[in-house]
Chain A
Amino acid sequence: MNETPTTRIVTANWDDPNVVGIDGYLAAGGYEGLRAALAMTPDEVIDLVKTSGLRGRGGAGFPTGVKWSFVPQDTGKPTYVVANFDESEPGTFNNREIIEREPHRFLEGMAIAAYAVRSHLAFVYCRGEFLWPGEILDAAIREAYAKEVFGPSVLGSGFALEVVLHRGAGAYICGEETALLSSLEGYRGQPRLRPPFPAVEGLYASPTLINNVETLATVPSILTRGPEWFAKIGTEKSPGTKIFSVSGKVERPGNYELPLGTPLRTLLEDHAGGVLGGRRLKAWTPGGSSTPMLTEQHLDIGLDFESITAAGSLLGTGAIIVMDETDCIVEAARRLVQFYAHESCGKCTPCREGTWWVSRVLGRIEQGYGRSEDLPLLDELGENILYKAFCALADGAVSPIESSLRYFRDEYEAHIAERRCPFTGVGPGGETATGSGDAIANDAGLTGALT
């Protein structure tokens, strides 16, 4: 392996199996960041995080310290902290590994955030399917109570903090912060109108800070090593490191923490072992399934918020799904849109209906029943979904449609012209007949009503 030098912050202790427990974490210098914070005023902590330039790692990249400063004080209501551990953006798996390997780093960051915004009650919204990570977290929270890290006097400071683990029950949309709040309040996980933003009126209509697990796990080191140290890593506008989750057609899928701004070429070739089987890279998502796909021509663009945005996509969660030259882009787009159709909460018509129709049209193209007018139809459907719905789930669904059409329109055209998938051969124009041809043809008739 020809590994380039790395700066590991959040994953620094991942090779040490002892840090999953609080004793090992304390021995490795754990909770020193919280001690440092408790010696400062809450406003000083907020200023320090602002100075570091840390941006949220959950997808939007909003400056963390600024978000903390938006939480109003003296409203007469309690203030809540909610940690978003509903990790479910396809391709993303770094929050899970943070919790499985070193849960206290996250809990420490959450306690610092609670102190900074003067909150005495923090919830961790844990994805339901994360049965085992949830058990680790539950045990870690109990350990922290036993060591008086949580409770009526955090590390003897007199600052009180209670932490409650709350498990979700299988709904991608609950990763959206307002849907998460609805779910935590005991309702269907449907998004709410913003403003008011959760900082002002969040959980139980009270001021609420919501942060992602990776964001919070980054905070302790900023306290112990200083904001200037952190700001020097990465790029000017995207300081620090990011844990990139690499999956799909690579030799060594996994989480790799690298300075923001590192190009995919470095990540892929020096860390993830290159494209599987030495094949050629075809397409990749920079930040999970809801970020527009990029291609080989973007290999040297820095993986940071501003560079990826300039390239027409989004850094999102830093989840890189790699497709190679043998993978069918129409099928990839179809599968991703099927995901959004399944996970649409049903509130907004463009999302609920649009994702369903797009997945059917993509399905018939993939099965060799596409028509020439399907491509303009997909363009139009995408336009009618994008920015037309309440939350970003619908916009995420448009990403695979729009970007795959932008870079691989010829592949769509080949499916339609050859009346089969050029990769699998499936379709009436191919050698492999499908059993469901009648159903797909019926679908084609139904969809005709749309045009």
Chain B
Amino acid sequence: MAVLSDGGRETAEAIIGRYPAGRERSAVLPLLYLMQSVEGRLTRDGLREVGVLLGITTAEVEAVASFYTMLRLRPTGTHVVSVCTNLSCALRGANEVFEAAHDAAGVEQGEDTSPDGEFTVHEEECLGACDAAPVVQVDFANHDRVTPERVVELVEALRAGEVPTPSRGRAPKDFREASRILAGGSGGSRNERVSANGSPPRAGAEEAT
């Protein structure tokens, strides 16, 4: 069954159009994000559809998808809570925050997703905001200086259907919306496309070596 709707396929074509002619494969990551935004994770159908869009095999798509931690091939919660436990955050108490998140979300030992499918709790590597350690991301929106108590509040808020206000920027409502943002827009104002040689888009066969 097709994962993308007609509108979704238009978006996929626009994503592919960001890259030079003959270099469509570069669109594999944004297209995988697009599939993930529809299904909440990546399924075989989604992988196959990316392969069809790019003219490569499902195996080639899966080989890429399995390399990247933000692309989820396993069951994934409605919300992904990522707790950085790398050194700068660990020095500020991140291990306790991770334990608290794990417990509050109801994730069992050795698992990463709660049985009710609400939460995936991910022990994250450095999130590049070490001045605000310990750092937690909820669906990739940053929360600064999080204590064990605060992470429990975040999980409870999500469970109550709220979208906790992040420390900066806007928060997606769930993992699917975050994936949709990561797939990128449909080209927007870039109507005056130029190719790598400064000529109009897709006219330059010299790019498709």
Contact = CB atoms under 8 A, between A and B. Distances in A.
A413 interface: no
A332 B87 contact: yes
B87 A162 contact: no
Interface of A: 76-80, 87-93, 95-96, 100, 119-121, 127-132, 134-136, 138, 142, 145-146, 151-152, 160-162, 164-172, 183-189, 204-206, 245-249, 253-255, 289, 319, 321, 323, 327, 331-332, 335-336, 339, 342-343, 345
Given A88-B128, A169-B32, A321 B67 contact: no
Nearest to A333: B87
B26 interface: yes
B129 A167 contact: no
Contact of A249 (B91, B129, B207): B91
Given A170-B68, A171-B67, A204-B20, A90 B26 contact: no
Interface stretch (B3-11, B96-104, B147-155, B194-202): B194-202
B70 A129 contact: yes
Contacts of B105: none
A169 B33 contact: yes
B64 A188 contact: yes
B145 to A, nearest CB: 10
Contacts of A92: 126, 128, 130
A282 to B, nearest CB: 11
Contacts, number: 207
A247 B168 contact: no
Contacts of B23: 185, 204
Contacts of A289: 86-87, 126
The residue in A253, A343, A345 that gathers the most chain B C-beta atoms within 10 A of its C-beta is: A253
Contact of B137 (A93, A96, A129): A129
Interface residues of B, number: 66
The residue in B63, B166, B189 that gathers the most chain A C-beta atoms within 10 A of its C-beta is: B189
Interface in B106-147: 124-133, 137, 140-142
B81 interface: no
A200 to B, nearest CB: 15
Contacts of B90: 331-332, 335
Contact of A323 (B26, B85, B91, B125): B91
A130 B129 CA distance: 10
Given A247-B91, A332-B87, A335-B87, 16 more contacts: A78-B207, A90-B86, A129-B70, A129-B137, A130-B128, A135-B169, A142-B190, A162-B195, A168-B68, A169-B32, A170-B71, A185-B26, A186-B64, A189-B67, A189-B68, A321-B91
B185 A138 contact: yes
Contact of A78 (B168, B185, B206): B206
A142 to B, nearest CB: 5
A204 B196 CA distance: 12
Contact of B166 (A91, A100, A132): A132
A221 B117 CA distance: 51
Contact of A339 (B30, B86, B190): B86
A185 B91 contact: no
Contact of B126 (A89, A120, A165, A168): A89
A21 to B, nearest CB: 15
Given A170-B70, A189-B67, A246 B125 contact: no
A120 B196 contact: yes
Contacts of A321: 87-88, 91, 130
A80 B91 CA distance: 41
B91 A248 contact: yes
Contacts of A248: 87-88, 91-92, 130, 133
Interface in B155-209: 166, 168-170, 172, 178, 181-182, 184-185, 188-190, 192-198, 204, 206-207, 209
21 contacts: A77-B209, A78-B204, A80-B196, A88-B126, A93-B128, A127-B128, A129-B140, A132-B142, A132-B166, A132-B170, A134-B181, A138-B185, A161-B194, A169-B68, A170-B71, A171-B68, A189-B67, A245-B131, A321-B91, A332-B90, A335-B87
Q: Do most interface residues of chain A lie in helix, strand or loop, or is the interface mixed?
A: mixed
Contacts of B207: 78, 204
B27 interface: yes
Contact of A91 (B68, B126, B137, B141): B126
A136 B169 CA distance: 9
A188 B60 CA distance: 10
A339 B125 contact: yes
A115 to B, nearest CB: 12
A102 to B, nearest CB: 14
A89 B129 CA distance: 11
Contacts of A169: 29, 32-33, 68-71, 182
A362 to B, nearest CB: 13
A184 B194 contact: no
Contact of B168 (A91, A100, A319): A100
B83 interface: no
Interface in B57-84: 63-64, 67-71, 82
A342 B86 CA distance: 11
Contacts of A164: 18-19
A95 B128 CA distance: 9
- 6 smallest CB-CB distances across A and B, nearest first, come from A132-B169, A78-B196, A247-B130, A186-B25, A169-B68, A170-B69
B28 interface: yes
Contact of A120 (B71, B185, B198, B209): B198
